[in-house]
């Protein structure tokens, strides 16, 4: 879990309980402060089921979370019995680490278009929930929506999506159009005009 993530505790209302959180490997415990609790009552199997949400309120830090985990326990206020749960693992904030461009390898006929998309991933390989704005570039014509327009020459084109210093690439092979007079080099394009060249 990361800062802003919510962990849900629930139990039946037959228990008068208090939830406590430990950030220091169960050495000390503190009740969840009320501004981190939301209660919702639902009728479940004839009993009222209560839900309480705890929101991670601090970034991952060894000084704050011992071994990057949080434990919680449910204290029965009537009997004094305790049930320890966890651990809840606190993770690093997701950071853009890699970018992948799709399709990564493809072929496009001369003068035709191809749409590319990019996805940013965090440091453990998960796609970011909120994707950044990518800057597109290519050794051919491409707009800032990732739409490539192939030229008149057969060639290999690199498509790049960039955010800051992080980028991802795809390779496109531009092929002669079927039934077209476009040839493999720019010079030979003139052949379509004069058969004597």
Written as one string, the DSSP assignment of 13-65 is: TTS-EEEEEESSTTSS-EEPPGGG---EEEEETTEEEEEEEEE--S---TTTS
By the 8 A CB rule, do 90 and 56 touch?
A: yes
Residue by residue, pLDDT tens for the chain (197 residues) are: 455 566 666 555 555 777 777 777 888 887 775 444 455 555 555 555 566 666 666 555 555 555 567 777 777 778 888 877 777 766 667 889 999 999 999 999 999 999 999 999 988 788 998 999 999 999 999 999 999 999 999 999 999 999 999 999 999 999 997 765 544 444 334 334 334 43
CA distances from 78 to 14, 32, 41, 81 (A): 11, 19, 21, 8
Specify the CATH number for 6-89; select among 2.60.40, 1.20.120, 3.40.50, 1.10.10.
2.60.40
Domain with CATH 2.60.40.10 in the chain: 98-192
CATH class for the domain made up of 98-192: mainly beta
State the pTM of this model: 0.55
């Amino acid at each position: 879990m990361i800062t802003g993530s919510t962990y849900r505790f629930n139990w039946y209302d037959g228990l008068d309980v208090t939830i406590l959180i430990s950030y220091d490997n169960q050495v000390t415990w503190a009740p969840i402060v009320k501004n981190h609790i939301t209660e919702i009552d639902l009728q479940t199997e004839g009993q009222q089921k209560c839900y309480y949400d705890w929101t991670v309120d601090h970034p991952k830090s060894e000084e704050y979370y011992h071994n990057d985990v949080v434990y919680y326990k449910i204290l029965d206020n009537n009997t004094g019995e305790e049930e320890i749960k966890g651990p809840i693992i606190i993770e690093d904030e997701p950071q853009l680490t890699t970018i992948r461009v799709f399709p990564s390898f493809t072929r496009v006929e001369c003068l035709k278009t191809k749409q590319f998309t990019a996805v940013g991933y965090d440091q453990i390989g998960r796609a970011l929930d909120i994707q950044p704005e990518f800057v597109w570039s290519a050794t051919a014509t491409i707009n800032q929506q990732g739409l490539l327009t192939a030229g008149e020459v057969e060639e290999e084109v690199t498509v790049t999506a960039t955010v800051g210093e992080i980028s991802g690439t795809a390779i496109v092979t531009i092929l002669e159009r079927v039934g077209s007079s476009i040839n493999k080099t720019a010079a030979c394009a003139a052949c379509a005009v004069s058969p004597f060249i």
